[in-house]
Homo-oligomer: A and B are copies of this chain.
Amino acid sequence: MSNLTSLVEQQFSPHTLNKFATLMAAGNGYLGLRACHEEAYTEQTRGMYLAGFYHRASATETTELVNLPDVLQMRIELDGEIFTLLSGTVLAYRRELNFTNGELCRCVTWLAPNGKRYQIDSQRFLSAARKSLLCSRISITPLDGDAIVTISTGIDATQTNSGRQHLDEISVRIFDQLYLQGCYRTQDGSNETVIGSFCATPPEACISFSAKNRRLIQHTSASIANNRPFVMVKTSWITSSLEAGYQTQTDSERALANLMECVAQGYDTLLAESTQTWNSWWQRSRVVVDSQNAQDQRALDFALYHLFAMTPTHSERCSIAAKGLTGEGYKGHIFWDTEVFLLPFHLMTQPNIARQLLSYRWHNLPGAQAKAQKNGLQGALFPWESAWSGEEETPEYAAINIRTGLRQKVASALAEHHLVADIAWAVDAYYQATCDNEFMRLRGVTLLVETARFWISRAVEVNGRLELHDAIGPDEYTEHVNNNAYTNYLAHHNVERALHYQGKFDVPDETFVAQAKDFLHRLWLPQANDQKLIPQDDTFFSKPTIDLTRYKQHQGTQAILLDYSRAEVNEMQILKQADVVMLTYMLPWLFTSQQLEANLDYYEPRTIHDSSLSKAIHGVVAARCDRVEQGYQFWQQACLIDLGDDPHSCDDGIHAAATGAIWLGAVQGFVGLTVEQGELRLNPRLPQAWRSVSLPFCWQGEPVRLMLTDRQLSISTASSKPLTIWLGQKRLLLQGTQSLSLAEFVTPFSASSAKQEASK
């Protein structure tokens, strides 16, 4: 894949250090590395994270994804001047992240305060082929006479999570007078990480070492002739006790051997190897768009790049954090984002990863069961935020309330239960796309039944009907309501699917069957009113509205909470994000196209979109209503959540779900590729700006490639078995490569309207 886009930073600014450190972060699902500069800046949060490597420092603190010792930082002195882009003059600057292989390159021409110019170029990548491997190379060329260069770099364990230290130094060593190695243990003693580094320097360089104050450092200095580059390649190998069978002594020796082997190969060979892995990944993942707006392709490449970088494919005990492995936002915790916004991409490209993400939940069932029990309920109440153990990790307190001076409690862990049904929804989606009977038998059915049992126990009876009280839907600006539509419908779907799959794969449990049937029969599902509007909850329509223009202009900042308390916001028709609209996205077959439209029109003006999960979903729903251009607008805005101009919107990490939503918006919204009742459906509606779109996907074990223009569909499958697909309202059986004229099939949306047609 040589025609991928890239992300370019054209000039250095201290104001956007963290934005670009996030956007350009490296990752291979095992490790994540913020795109920090070699030289340090006070405003820059440096960070390297290892999937699943969490620690809770004390009872009053929250479990965090540990910011590992820093191997990237270099203190560079050029003729006695400390190199920093804040001083002197930056004559030329360019930084580029190549999405093809994740290599980050920076080229700087620096006029130092001493009046001399230096060319300082650096490159780095985290290997996609060897997940523990980080390579970096720096080249310094004096342009105005001979120079003395001094570089101090090594393994810097002064790194913290905002001042919180999680690691004790167990040992720091230098092997063969060249290889640095540090072993660090989490303070609770539960995990270790072993980090090794080697700096290849020119033979004339003078080197020494120091080990002090948590820093194991190699000091390298050399005289360089004018116009001759000084090149240093730093190779690092990072591993941890999360590896199966880890044992400090053996694994630190093995880590050293692995590092030595990599050092022997050199930067270019290692990069080529990594590039190959990336290439084959892009082959089976990339969505290619021919759009009038070049940024559309870049947004898709950006999103997919990060989807690769954030996804731990090496272990079922890891899942995808809300900020991936790019920053400390949300402490590295895992939310419903994974199942609803990220899993679909993997399901359609590498379903084994979707299986692995669901297995993460399965491994964490005991924690979910314990949380349910603690709340006097049955089944599995998955934690709103989870880390390694599956215990509830949501922080108890959030921001300070200036008026009372006290911190406010976080309600999500107490009442935002829809996550439970979202996981069940994903299990169902997984089976539909894979027909993976084994998974369902071993894990899927258990996940469905345990989550269903939770809902059954959570329902309360009011005048004969079952209701779900004191809930929080996806819209977190409306808390502690009864019969949140999203929650009730998803819970119903959860129980229905549990009943279905238990019947299919297991000996039905009579008690459960009876309870489930009763629940499905009696659970209140808020119905559309005369205006086709589904009430978000029992009281929503009775609340006043206010003009939200000002807050929508600053969406993503929660500016409304500066003017109103949470309690006040709760008593108005104000949405943080899609809720009923989200519901119509998740279970589209339950609603008519007219209902979709009416609810979109009603709720969107009341939605600030303060959550990054909101815009793209609106885009898909708008497209499904055949409002393609409105959908495209939403989608373009969703693409800017991280890539837009706000210098601080992603300081503490990428909006992982938003990257998944970029793919969802394109594939579910415009390509119109969805799954319903086990069947693939295609309802293409490309925005005017898009001349064509092509994508690979995987359906029930077979790879499929699809190419769309506004008139033509080309679809290829290598399978001997024909592919069944609904194109508009026609069910087709396709084999090999076929080209079809869309005119024959194009109709307004969609499954539900088809259903209406059918029922007439």
**Are A60 and B160 in contact (CB-based, < 8 A)?**
no
Q: Which of B86, B164, B169, B402 contacts A174 (CB 8 A)?
A: B402
Query: Which one of A91-99, A203-211, A500-508 contacts B?
Result: A203-211
On chain B, the residues within 8 Å of A740 by CB distance are none
Q: How many residues of A contact B (CB 8 A)?
A: 51
Q: Is A168 an interface residue (CB 8 A)?
A: yes
> Which residue in chain B gives the minimum CB-CB distance to A170?
B60
Query: Which one of A38-46, A520-528, A589-597 contacts B?
Result: A38-46
> Which residue in chain B gives the minimum CB-CB distance to A15?
B82
What's the Cα separation between A80 and B173 when bound, in Å? 45
Q: Is A163 an interface residue (CB 8 A)?
A: yes
Q: Is the interface of A mostly helix, strand, loop or mixed?
A: loop
Task: Give A178 Cβ to nearest chain B Cβ, in Å.
Answer: 10
Query: Which one of A279-287, A403-411, A482-490, A601-609 contacts B?
Result: A403-411
What's the Cα separation between A163 and B172 when bound, in Å? 16
What's the Cα separation between A175 and B41 when bound, in Å? 33
What's the Cα separation between A54 and B156 when bound, in Å? 24
Answer whether A211 and B158 are a contact pair too, CB < 8 Å, given A15-B82, A165-B164: no
Task: Give A103 Cβ to nearest chain B Cβ, in Å.
Answer: 26
**Are B87 and A162 in contact (CB-based, < 8 A)?**
no
What's the Cα separation between A334 and B406 when bound, in Å? 40
Answer whether A209 and B174 are a contact pair too, CB < 8 Å, given A58-B168, A82-B15, A158-B162: no
On chain B, the residues within 8 Å of A328 by CB distance are 213
Chain A contacts with B in 664-700, Cβ cutoff 8 A = none
Q: Is A518 an interface residue (CB 8 A)?
A: no
Chain A contacts with B in 63-77, Cβ cutoff 8 A = none
Task: Give A453 Cβ to nearest chain B Cβ, in Å.
Answer: 38
**Are B400 and A172 in contact (CB-based, < 8 A)?**
yes
Q: Is A57 an interface residue (CB 8 A)?
A: yes
On chain B, the residues within 8 Å of A403 by CB distance are 177
Chain A contacts with B in 96-118, Cβ cutoff 8 A = none
On chain B, the residues within 8 Å of A160 by CB distance are 158, 160, 163, 165
Task: Give A83 Cβ to nearest chain B Cβ, in Å.
Answer: 11
Copies of this chain, complex-wide, total 2
On chain B, the residues within 8 Å of A43 by CB distance are 82
Q: Is A517 an interface residue (CB 8 A)?
A: no
**Are A84 and B86 in contact (CB-based, < 8 A)?**
yes
Q: Is A130 an interface residue (CB 8 A)?
A: no
Q: Is A614 an interface residue (CB 8 A)?
A: no
Query: A residues bordering B, Cβ < 8 Å?
Result: 14-15, 40-43, 57-58, 60-61, 80, 82, 84, 86-87, 156-160, 162-165, 168-170, 172-175, 177, 187, 208-216, 328, 399-400, 402-403, 405-407, 562
Answer whether A60 and B169 are a contact pair too, CB < 8 Å, given A42-B41, A162-B158, A163-B157: yes
> Which residue in chain B gives the minimum CB-CB distance to A77?
B15
The 4 residue pairs across chains A and B that have the minimum distance between CB atoms: A158-B163, A162-B213, A211-B400, A40-B42
Answer whether A405 and B158 are a contact pair too, CB < 8 Å, given A57-B168, A163-B214, A168-B57: no
18 A-B pairs with CB atoms under 8 Å apart are A43-B82, A60-B169, A61-B168, A61-B169, A160-B160, A160-B165, A163-B165, A164-B165, A173-B400, A174-B405, A177-B405, A208-B402, A208-B562, A210-B399, A210-B400, A211-B399, A211-B400, A211-B407
**Are B210 and A175 in contact (CB-based, < 8 A)?**
no
**Are A177 and B402 in contact (CB-based, < 8 A)?**
yes
Q: Which of B169, B399, B405 contacts A175 (CB 8 A)?
A: B405
On chain B, the residues within 8 Å of A158 by CB distance are 160, 162-163
What's the Cα separation between A215 and B163 when bound, in Å? 9
Task: Give A221 Cβ to nearest chain B Cβ, in Å.
Answer: 14
**Are A214 and B405 in contact (CB-based, < 8 A)?**
no
What's the Cα separation between A367 and B474 when bound, in Å? 59
What's the Cα separation between A57 and B165 when bound, in Å? 10
What's the Cα separation between A399 and B211 when bound, in Å? 6
On chain B, the residues within 8 Å of A165 by CB distance are 57, 160, 163-165
What's the Cα separation between A14 and B406 when bound, in Å? 40
What's the Cα separation between A208 and B41 when bound, in Å? 25
